[in-house]
Amino acid sequence: AQKVTQAQTEISVVEKEDVTLDCVYETRDTTYYLFWYKQPPSGELVFLIRRNSFDEQNEISGRYSWNFQKSTSSFNFTITASQVVDSAVYFCALSAYSGAGSYQLTFGKGTKLSVIP
């Protein structure tokens, strides 16, 4: 069975502060993908990043960076110099192939980030 845990339910930061959103996952599969999605107040789900289990390189995209560590089963997301527009619910998700045609994308419960001006 797959599981994604986002222990932080809500986080508030002041604008320009850095913030890290934690994600811990569980899977027995050796091949899997990890994702982050953003859900702004308007409600749509926006794809941010995909990382496969064989690529442990950290990734940076503008103010966003992701730290993938297989040793601790974590895939954390950092926003540098946060802005009010970053206020949203962020979901971490896992997709693993279990050999029986499993296609399920398992989501964490989300972390609500509020950036205060």
Structure tokens belonging to residue 29: 């599969």
For another protein, which residue of 13, 22, 33, 65 counts as binding (CB under 8 A)? 33
Closest distance to another protein from the beta carbon of 3 (Å): 11
CA nearest to 36, candidates 26, 13, 25: 25
76 forms bridges with which residues in the sheet? 67
The reply to whether 66 sits near another protein by the rule CB under 8 A is: no
Shortest distance (Å) from residue 5 CB to another protein: 11
Interaction of residue 63 with another protein, rule CB under 8 A: no
**Cα three-residue angle 14-16-18, rounded to 5 degrees:** 85
Within positions 79 to 98, which residues make up the interface with another protein, using CB under 8 A?
91, 95
